[in-house]
Amino acid sequence: MTALISPPVQRGPGNQGSAGSRVGARVRDAFTSPKYGPVLVTAILFLAVFIGGGIRYPGFFSGQVLLNLLVDNSYLIVLAVGMTFVILTGGIDLSVGAVVALSTMIAASLLQSGWPPAAVIPLILVLTSILGLLVGLMIHVFKVQPFIATLAAMFLARGLCYVISQNSISITDPSFIALAVTRIPLGGGLSITPSVLIAVLVVVVAVWVLHRTRFGRTVYAIGGGEQSGMLMGLPVARTKVLVYVISGFCSGVAGVLFTFYTLSGYPLTAIGTELDAIAAVVIGGTLLAGGYGFVLGSVLGVLVLGIIQTIITFEGTLSSWWTKIFIGALLLVFIILQRLLTSRRR
């Protein structure tokens, strides 16, 4: 009896080559995309710096070194999350550093007056959210440019710091101190702080909001073209106001986390932190013109800034100002990269 089973098809080199070329094309498209390209470059940069540090410095390849990036930069991660929302719409927020300082001053002064932390922390978040709401209304109702509106909010918040006190205020509340110094063991001698858990929670919520809700889709639509969003019937005005409320809320959370880190309030706290947050967001792949970007990319941008500072600390012979120099160079490179990728798409 003749077998009716067909022989197996042999895949020749040509078929394998075409599959390989398709994979190569996809990789090339990802790296040349304004949506994914900068994020991939940032990820490669982080890995390269980490591997280079591990080769050069003993003890750099340590799990605790990586965890310390989160511990030391948890407040900046939260700030970068709020800034991501704003920049995705094509806006900017220069007030976040001053709002962090104001949060530390409010926390320190109220705790010193005997207020419990359970009342102080929610009050800070409400006040900073209201400040963000005022900024958003100023931008929407009075058509003030975000740069000017948030610059005014920055001066207001910094001035209020000096109204509260011109000197540093130490925090001596036992429960607040206990929360600040708590370490959460992970096993193997590794540990994190509650600030890291709060930062991770903020990131998870932000990712869900941006990618699983109508509000998040509207944020991206405004960055892609505000007029187009209005023609599509999207709530553009409400969304533009809410992103500044979110930024104000995140600034309040970051201020509380920074207070955990320093256990004090000081009017000159966090000067220039708004620029660090903007740099982290841009290095993380969010387009300054809006429309493209990811919260996780901004987190990666913060980790890049943190690992540069860690390298300088391990080196021991470099001034901390070299961090600013490297950040400035990276920011310039990524802005040029964004310009090249967007112009190529056009």
Count the helix, strand and coil residues of the chain and give each as a percent rounded to the nearest 5: 75, 5, 25
pLDDT of residue 149: 97
Instruction: State the pLDDT confidence band at 144, using cuts at 50, 70 and 90.
Output: very high
Over residues 253-278, the mean pLDDT reads 95
Label residue 342 by pLDDT band (50, 70, 90): confident
- Per-residue pLDDT band at 338 (split at 50, 70, 90): confident
Residue 2 — pLDDT band, cuts 50, 70, 90?
Answer: very low
User: Residue 346: pLDDT band by 50, 70, 90 thresholds?
Assistant: low
Confidence of residue 17 (pLDDT cuts 50, 70, 90): low
pLDDT at 325 over 90: no
Specify the CATH architecture of the domain 40-345.
Orthogonal Bundle (1.10)
pLDDT of residue 20: 66
Mean pLDDT of 251-259: 97
User: In the predicted model, what is the mean pLDDT of residues 229-234?
Assistant: 86
pLDDT at 90 over 60: yes
Residue 327: the pLDDT is 84
How many percent of the chain have pLDDT more than 90? 67
- Give the pLDDT score at 98: 97
pLDDT surpasses 80 at 13: no
Task: Please state the rounded mean pLDDT for residues 24-50.
Answer: 80
> Which parts of 182-272 fold into alpha helices (H)?
194-212, 214-224, 226-231, 236-262
Distance CA 162, CA 231 (A): 46
Please, what is the Cα angle at 244 between 341 and 147, to 5 degrees? 65
Give me the pLDDT at residue 225, please.
85
Residue 254's closest CA among 88, 120, 124, 110? 124
Determine what percent of the chain is predicted with pLDDT higher than 70: 92
The confidence band for 248, taking pLDDT boundaries of 50, 70 and 90, is very high
What pLDDT sits at residue 193?
96
CA angle 209, 213, 216 (to 5 degrees): 60
For residue 85, the model assigns a pLDDT of 97
Residue 111 confidence (pLDDT): 96
Q: Work out the average pLDDT over 235-262.
A: 96
Question: 3-class DSSP state for residue 140?
Answer: helix
**Mean pLDDT of the chain, nearest integer:** 89
Q: Name every residue whose Cβ is closer than 8 Å to that of residue 69 and which is 6 or more positions away in sequence.
A: 303, 306, 307, 310
pLDDT at 344: 62
Model confidence pLDDT, tens digit, residues 297-314: 999 999 999 999 999 888
Q: Find the mean pLDDT for residues 320-346.
A: 79
* For residues 60-85, average pLDDT: 94
Q: What is the pTM of this model?
A: 0.90
Closest listed residue to residue 296, CA positions, set 31, 38, 30, 27: 38
For the segment 317-322, the average pLDDT, to the nearest whole number, is 76
